[in-house]
A and B are shown apart, each in its own frame.
Chain A
Amino acid sequence: MTTDTLTRLTPDTVTEADLTAFIYREARLLDELAYEDWLKLYAQDAHYWMPAEWQQTDPRLQASLMYEDMLLLRIRVERLAGARTFSQKPKSRSQHLLQAPQVDEMNPAANLFRTWTSFHYVETRGDEKEFFAGWAKHEIRVEEGALKIALKRVDLLNFDAPFGNIQLFM
Chain B
Amino acid sequence: MSKYASNPDAIRALVHPEEVHRDVYTSPEVFALEMKHLFANTWVYVGHASQIPEKGDYITTEIGDQPVLVVRHTDMSVHVLYNRCPHKGVKIASEACGNTGKFFRCPYHAWSFRTNGNLLAIPLKKGYENTGLENTDAVKGLAPVANVKIYREFIFARLNDTGESFEAFFGDSLSSIDNMIDRSPEGKLVLEGAPLRYMHNCNWKMLVENQTDTCHPMVAHESSAGTAVSVWEKEQAKGGPKPMAVEVYAPFMAPYEFFEGMGIRVWPHGHGHTGVTTSIHADYSAVPGYFDQMVEAYGEERARAILGENRHNTVYFPHIMIKGPIQTMRVFRPLAADRTLVESYTFRLVGAPDMLFERTLMYNRLINAPTSIVGHDDLEVYERAQKGLASDALEWVNVQRLYEPGERHDVTETANGTSERQMRNQFAAWVHYMTLDMAEPARVEAAE
Contact = CB atoms under 8 A, between A and B. Distances in A.
Interface of A: 50, 52-53, 60-67, 69, 71-72, 74-76, 78-79, 82, 84-88, 160-167
Contacts of B197: 160-163
B230 A87 contact: no
Nearest to A165: B376
Contacts of A161: 197
Interface string B192-231: 0110111111000000000000000000101110111011
B231 A78 contact: yes
The B interface is mostly helix, strand or loop, or mixed, namely helix
Interface of B: 193-194, 196-201, 220, 222-224, 226-228, 230-232, 235, 243, 245-246, 249, 341, 346, 354, 357-358, 361-362, 364-366, 369-371, 373, 375-377, 379-381, 384
B378 to A, nearest CB: 9
Contact of B365 (A67, A82, A84, A165): A67
Given A66-B365, A162-B198, A163-B198, A86 B220 contact: yes
Contacts of A72: 245, 366
Contacts of B377: 86-87
B225 to A, nearest CB: 9
Contacts of A50: 371
A162 B371 contact: no
A74 B230 CA distance: 11
B163 to A, nearest CB: 31
A75 B199 contact: no
A79 B249 CA distance: 13
A84 to B, nearest CB: 5
Which 5 pairs, one residue from A and one from B, show the smallest C-beta to C-beta distance?
A: A87-B380, A163-B370, A162-B197, A85-B223, A162-B199
A122 B180 CA distance: 40
Contact of A52 (B196, B226, B366, B375): B196
Nearest to A52: B196
Contact of B223 (A64, A69, A87): A87
B398 to A, nearest CB: 20
Contacts of B222: 82, 84
Nearest to A59: B361
B341 A162 contact: yes
B235 A71 contact: yes
Nearest to B229: A75
Contact of A61 (B223, B231, B358): B358
Nearest to B384: A86
Given A63-B365, A84-B222, A71 B194 contact: no
B370 A164 contact: yes
A71 B243 contact: yes
A86 B380 contact: yes
B381 A86 contact: yes
B377 to A, nearest CB: 6
Contacts of B232: 71
B354 A63 contact: no
Contacts of B346: 63
Contact of A63 (B194, B198, B370, B376): B194
Nearest to A86: B380
A60 B358 contact: yes
Contacts of A66: 365, 369, 371
B187 to A, nearest CB: 21
A64 B380 contact: no
A44 to B, nearest CB: 11
Contacts of A61: 354, 357-358, 361
Given A61-B361, A84-B226, A87-B379, 20 more contacts: A52-B194, A62-B361, A65-B196, A65-B365, A67-B362, A71-B232, A71-B243, A71-B246, A74-B231, A78-B227, A79-B224, A82-B222, A84-B223, A86-B377, A86-B381, A87-B380, A163-B197, A163-B199, A165-B376, A166-B371
A110 B341 CA distance: 45
Contacts of B220: 86
Contacts of A76: 373
Contacts of B249: 75
Contacts of A162: 197-199, 341, 370
